[in-house]
Structure 1
Amino acid sequence: MKKQIITVAGGGSTYTPGIIQAVLHGQNRLPVSEIRLYDIDATRNENMYLIIQYMLEQQGFSNIQVKQTANPEEAFTNADFIFSQIRVGGLTMREKDEKIPLKYGLVGQETCGLGGFAYGLRSIGPLLELVGFVQKYAPEAWILNYTNPETIISEAVRRQYPGIRMINVCDMTIGIEDTLAKNYGYDRDNWIATYYGLNHFGWYTKIYDKSLKRDIMPELLEKLQTQEIKEEDPSWNRAFNMIRFMVQQFPDNIPNNYLEYYFYPDMYVNYADPNYTRANTIMDGRERKTHEMAEKIRNKVEGDILDFYFGVHGVYIVDIAAALLNDEKKRFMLIVENKGAIPNLRADAVVEVPAYVGATGVEAIRLSAIGDFHKGLMEAQVAAEKLLVDAYFENSYQKALQAFTLNQTVPNATVAKQVLDEMIKANEAYWPELNK
């Protein structure tokens, strides 16, 4: 089998080691000759280059070449797969996404609420530019996109590049399933899950366990009613136990934990610290630790240097790449244009549903019609996201205001306008000009 060239766009990300670790473990299914780290932040990319090169040497993969670059031609020419995880504006802008809405008593979060919309408007242009580079330098490559917020990004790319070889990926469903399985005594490898929604905005309707030969959804719902979920990280412990709280209120399905921001924004605002948000936690944790590891390698410190929790992030994206390469027809939760997958939802919605992946790409599974409660929530969110993408392409302040007002974390147009106007100033270097 031909060895592949993989480019990681956003190579300086602290998630890159997890992706590379999954690549190394998957050499039988996804053999690789070269890894390219592409990032406009030279310092972060240099640090990650040192870490990845060290990983390869420590694990006996000196036959795999690793390069770093900020030049798109060098990054993408002849690449087979592009793993995109760019974060436009970095953690500095994420901090503003989280803190500005909290000033107004609204949810401050990187992908949900008005923080997510700010991040979306900031990310569309650079992601479209990246897709253009890939079209120019590697038109046969597959782009596997982790860049958030996924449904907004996917909607924008779909409009400008309707035939692009791009799969939008989110590992949150895998994280939820892993957590449920670990806490309640199951093996997730035996699960076939049915789920529908938008990115970070959906519900499980069925989880079939192949070893038990039955749908275990009823017993999972019962366990969620009565048994606490335990996670080491306090913020994730709270997030996953919000699933339990939502099931106690709405007991028919297992929700994505991110729905707490839409169902109970008041609870989140009361819980959140407006002066120290998730961005600050990451800056003081994962980011600092990554920099320290790179410094140790740079200074040739001996001993155990690498200290990462690799998680499911890398495994998921590598599994999808292997399924494409080997025509595996493997099932994943993916973000796709609806086109009837949810039959009673608008066809041009960008939805997250089960799909099979093989050599020709993605084949979404057609589901049953959904009920009015979920349908109504999704339709409002889809409309708000489409208005936001309209605002980008039309340079329209009015469309942006409509999107912000319709966002389901926002109680009225007055506060929507206040946050929008402050976000325009904060994102002056990133957003398109919005004309009134």
Structure 2
Amino acid sequence: MVTSERITGWIEPGADDWVYVPIDVPPGAREIEVAYTYDRPAVPPGVRGNSLDIGIFGPDDEFRGWSGGARDRFAINASEATPGYLPGPVWPGRWQVVLGPYTVSPQGISYELDITIHSGPDGESFRPRPAPARIPGRGHAWYRGDGHLHTIHSDGQRTLPELVADARQAGLDFVVSTEHNTSSAHLRWGHHATDDLLILNGEEVTTRTGHWPAWHLPAGKWIDWRHRADNPDDLRRFVDEVRGAGGLVVAAHPFSPCVGCSWEFGMERVDLVEVWNGPWTLDDEATVIAWDSLLRAGRWVPAVGNSDSHSRADRVGLPHNVVWSRGLSGDQLMAGFAQGRNWIAESAEVRLDFTATTGIRTVGIGQRLETDDPVTFEVRVEGAPDTHIRMLDQTGPQWGGYVHKDGGTASWTTRSRYSRWVRVEVRRNEPTQTTVDTMVALTNPIFLG
């Protein structure tokens, strides 16, 4: 038996972040289908039009899926579900379609929901197949990985196997699956896993006051995104949930100009900050400046960089992280990131070595050298011809060098009384549409004292 219902409604300007539409599902339901439309009236320049997201919760506020604005319909049954949604029994009781008015025109949003419920016996139960938790690595080594990626399970264009292929082509050792507000991809990565690419589970928790990728979640773990920066207790609770599961919290693209993308939560509770997101742009420059200001003030949040790839034209691994780890497992990689033992590269062709030495003691990125003696900082860069090395401390740029086609080096000696830390940038004198040059590599600091 099939039953259908059409629900209409209107959302006024200034509405709450989430609008819930109740759906009563009878016993014996096998599948629920939801389709929606909404009006998109013309608006004058400088006025935002309508954009309406969608997802669904089952009885008792059980999360069952989210597609944002990427789809206009979805279906759920015990055997399968639309990407972004979780297969499983269609329990009887009150479900809630959740609408997210991302932007609302002055006219408001008029919407229609078409609900179709199919009754009958369930099909074969869905069998989750997550990716392996570890793969063979190279022991203690630098590992390359992209921690911000999207597929058809949220608003990306790539399928799961396409993302795996592109990550391997980019020379990566690991990726973190970070779909917007859903864990659905976690349960399917095992079908596409290889023995040379570790796939970690994550979620880009997409709030209206900033986005924060949660890294290294247990397969199927979902983090609630229904919170705002004006209630810091909510963020604290969810951050504790991520850390309790062994993961880390990343402040994504803090100065991104898209609606709801800029970071309003502050840096007190995050583990990492994404200072470089996709091809180098003005908002990345702004983030590095803000991150550097925190460093100067004595507050270090380790920096990461990721592609945030959505479309097939977005290059996976531009940029990516190069993190020192004891091996290729989520726990080992998270330890390296938490310690700041990471630098960011434009591509796998870029190779960088950065150390600080006094006497017989040498330390690297993210480490501290406690000494009052002179300390020599040395950086070697390869695979980035016609670029410039910059060494910076808390007072600004201090030394540099040129990278030829066969590589380049720079060496500078200072003391802890002068420099609290030193970090490295490698830039190409190539303007983008919004910046005067292009970042090629960026390191976390080495600390003195």
Range class of TM-score, shorter chain: under 0.3
- Normalised to the residue count of structure 2, the TM-score between the two structures is 0.21
In the superposition, the TM-score normalised over structure 1's length comes to 0.21
The structure whose residues are more often strand, as a share, is 2
Which has the greater radius of gyration? 2
Relative to its length, the structure with more helix (as a share) is 1
